[in-house]
Amino acid sequence: MLLFDIAARHAKKTSSNPAQSLNTATHNGFLLSFEGSEGCGKSTQIRLLAEHLKAAGQAVEVMREPGGTAIGEEVRHLLQHAKAGHVMTHEAELLLFAASRAQLVREKVRPLLEAGVLVILDRFLDSTTVYQGMARGLPLASVQAINAFAVGGTLPHLTVLLDLETDTAWQRIHATGRELDRMESQPREFFEKVRQGYLELARAEPGRIAVVDAGRAPELIHAEILKLVETRRHAF
Binding site for ligand ATM (CB under 6 A): 38, 64-66, 97, 123, 127-128, 131-132, 183-184
Choice between 38 and 205, CB closer to ligand ATM: 38
Choice between 21 and 76, CB closer to ligand ATM: 76
Choice between 127 and 144, CB closer to ligand ATM: 127
Q: Do you find a cis peptide bond into 139, omega within 30 degrees of 0?
A: no
Residue of closest CB approach to ligand ATM: 131
Choice between 110 and 123, CB closer to ligand ATM: 123
DSSP 71-135: HHHHHHHHHHH-TTGGG--HHHHHHHHHHHHHHHIIIIIHHHHHTT-EEEEES-HHHIIIIIIII
CB of residue 137 vs ligand ATM: minimum separation in angstroms?
A: 13
Q: Are 8 and 16 in contact (CB under 8 A)?
A: no
Pick from 153, 189, 151: which is nearest to 169 by CA?
A: 189
Pick from 123, 92, 95, 146: which is nearest to 198 by CA?
A: 123
CB of residue 84 vs ligand ATM: minimum separation in angstroms?
A: 17
CB of residue 192 vs ligand ATM: minimum separation in angstroms?
A: 13
